Amino acid sequence: MRLKQQQLCGWGRYPVQACLCYRPEKLNELGPLKPESIPRGQGKSYGDAALNAGGNVILTERINRFAAFDPQQGTVTVEAGVTLAALLDFLVPKGWFLPVVPGTAGVSVGGCIAADVHGKNQHQYGNFAQSVVSLELIVASGETLEISREQHAPLFHATTGGMGLTGLIKSAKLRLLPINSSYMLTQNFAAENLDALLDIFSRRKEQDPYSVAWLDCLGHGTQLGRGIYTAGRHAEPDEIGRDGRQPLAWHHRSRPLPLTGPLSLCLHTATARQFNQRYYKKHAARTTPEVQPAQKYFFPLDRFNNWNRLYGKKGFIQYQCVVAEAQAAEAIRSMLETLQNAKVPVYLGVLKRFGSHKSGLLSFPMPGYTLALDIPLRTKAVFATLERLDEIVVQHQGRVYLAKDARLDSATFAKMYPDFGQWRSIKQEYDPQGLFNSSLYKRLTGESGR
Ligand SMILES: Cc1cc2nc3c(=O)[nH]c(=O)nc-3n(C[C@H](O)[C@H](O)[C@H](O)COP(=O)(O)OP(=O)(O)OC[C@H]3O[C@@H](n4cnc5c(N)ncnc54)[C@H](O)[C@@H]3O)c2cc1C
């Protein structure tokens, strides 16, 4: 089965090349690992992390069995191809949730560990790896190792956030979060500009277990960086109201986006500006606490299974970075002004706060603020502007998220990830021939895979 590398990677400097894909039905069908291989979960990373131009890709979607559920200990053990959607379908009606979920449930457990994903509670809880008790990893020699913070600890810290380059995650034992309802209690706080928004994040960091802000990146002058901060926490059954709501109801389903007309007409700067204006006004007026289903709060885009088509044929690029807290206002303002001066529109901006939890060696989160920008790919000029953004990020001790990246060069990567040397010596110990390799790795290192 052949999978064509995303068109995105063919823009500019990277050629489009096919990868050979293998999809074992069971782990014992995997056979000896082929040189130049990378595991792939649900392929929801935005760039080339789960692609391998000219090499092999191991599809893990059928490696999706549930192994154990222990309600006494609050843990579940699953194969790596299980999706968060499938896990939550199983767990929520029993009163459990995953301590960390990203913005979509359509991702695999293996993908979440390999990218050490974060959620809206990173500032209080940490990353996905925080909930991993232990995992089984098939390393380059073919051997399966059980790894954790206690066993093979360096390999554990290289694998969480290691983008699939230390081995194939076979299964994982995850710690769970008890919940009394499948609803969230949320509250909006409007901020007229960036300083006001950062001030809300800073003031509420201890009291809000979950928080996220929508940012109007098309606002100018005094409105630059205005946004809506949304606080959230799991609701108690007596808070969810009457309306016949079942405390642990869970219906997480997607449907096709009802698109009509030529797709390229879907989103434009003028419509995005109008949308932002309306969104800000509507949510700024709704400041009383609200109850909403957890799936709506955590996974708003999952309601439609092809929302990305809104960006038309050329698609979009997501740029996600984190910058140090002390310089966040200056860095974010400078990034937004750079984009506006270059006339590069941003249709969606999301801001979150990160805390100081220790992560894997290549994990993205660090203390500060993370900004995610959805930018339509209309011209190649976008790439030159993003390189300018990289410079601002480096100047402010930050980094770009590898799970969202398709364009960072090796020199900039080295400045953003100072622990790469330490990570690479662990990879070399377990994978001396560089068997695990990906398009991302080749691009970031200019090396073959060792
Ligand atoms: C709408 C949307 C919202 C998102 N929101 C967030 C967010 O809020 N926070 C966040 O952190 N991320 C977010 N992401 C990114 C996403 O969570 C990560 O890219 C995640 O890694 C995707 O999981 P996947 O199963 O699709 O993995 P893939 O994209 O298939 O692979 C990602 C990486 O994991 C590796 N990998 C996958 N399976 C295995 C395995 N079994 N063993 C070893 N390595 C493996 C791959 O080699 C690759 O390097 C979002 C993505 C989308 C599309």
Q: Is the pTM of this model over 0.85?
A: yes
CA distances from 415 to 42, 390, 391, 395 (A): 29, 10, 10, 10
Domain spans of the chain, in order of start: 2-60+423-445, 66-178, 183-407
Residues with CB under 6 A from ligand 1: 38-45, 49-50, 60, 80, 102-104, 107-108, 110-112, 114-115, 117-118, 163-164, 168-169, 301, 403
Helix (H, G, I), strand (E, B) or coil at 411: helix
The proportion of the chain whose per-residue pLDDT surpasses 70, expressed as a percent, equals 93
**Residue 15's pLDDT is what?**
54
Q: How far is the CA of 117 from the centre of ligand 1 (A)?
A: 7
**pLDDT tens digits, one per residue of 160-216:** 999 999 999 999 999 999 999 999 999 999 999 999 999 999 999 999 999 999 999
Could you tell me the pLDDT band of residue 7, with boundaries at 50, 70 and 90?
A: very low
**Residue 373's pLDDT is what?**
97
Bridge partner list, 369 = 323, 353
Which residue in 231, 167, 210, 124 sits closest to 38, CA to CA?
A: 167
Could you tell me the pLDDT band of residue 314, with boundaries at 50, 70 and 90?
A: confident
Higher pLDDT, 448 or 32: 32
pLDDT above 80: residue 368? yes
From 107, 303, 436, the mutation candidate for ligand 1 (largest count of ligand atoms within 8 A of CB) is: 107
**Residue 259's pLDDT is what?**
61
From 19, 23, 44, the mutation candidate for ligand 1 (largest count of ligand atoms within 8 A of CB) is: 44
**Residue 261's pLDDT is what?**
47
Q: How far is the CA of 287 from the centre of ligand 1 (A)?
A: 33
**Residue 101's pLDDT is what?**
98
pLDDT above 90: residue 223? no
Could you tell me the pLDDT band of residue 6, with boundaries at 50, 70 and 90?
A: very low
Helix (H, G, I), strand (E, B) or coil at 155: helix
Which residue in 213, 348, 224 sits closest to 283, CA to CA?
A: 213
Q: Which atom of ligand 1 is nearest to the CA of 63?
A: 41
**Residue 266's pLDDT is what?**
61
Which residue in 353, 239, 347 sits closest to 301, CA to CA?
A: 347
pLDDT above 80: residue 375? yes
| 66-178 CATH fold | 3.30.465
pLDDT above 50: residue 10? no
Q: How far is the CA of 404 from the centre of ligand 1 (A)?
A: 9
Which residue in 318, 311, 316, 308 sits closest to 400, CA to CA?
A: 318
| 183-407 CATH fold | Alpha-Beta Plaits (3.30.70)
Could you tell me the pLDDT band of residue 267, with boundaries at 50, 70 and 90?
A: low
Q: How far is the CA of 440 from the centre of ligand 1 (A)?
A: 13
Tokens coding 292: 């909403």
